[in-house]
Amino acid sequence: MEIRLLNGSDARSYQQVRLSALKNKPEAFGSTFERETAFPLEFVASRLKPGEDQFVLGAFQDGGSLAGIVTFKREESPKMRYRGNVFAM
């Protein structure tokens, strides 16, 4: 298994994994399957752009398919910027 930062070129695979998770475990997410099926691929790619305060990691199986995702976001408050949160694992 390989774990690496995702970027815009991973958008299609990311969207497939996320939609599958939203469909199968909707209670685990703040969004909905119906809402996210309407997102164009360009929007999904923009969500994957790594930055100083957030990034998305992907776990890839030996065959190269994306098996899992996790998002990290840093706290926004200046006093709390040393902390971050993990989402959508």
- 6 phi, psi to nearest 5 deg: -90, 155
What is the helix (H) or strand (E) element at residue 12, kind and residue range?
helix 11-24
Per residue in 5-38, pLDDT (tens digit) is: 999 999 999 999 999 999 999 998 889 999 999 9
DSSP strands (E only) in 23-82: 54-60, 66-74
Residue closest to 42 by CA, chosen among 14, 82, 18: 14
Sign of CA dihedral 63, 86, 13, 21: positive
Per residue in 27-78, pLDDT (tens digit) is: 988 899 999 999 999 999 999 999 999 999 999 999 999 999 999 999 999 9
In the chain, % helix, strand, coil (3-state, to 5) comes to 40, 25, 35
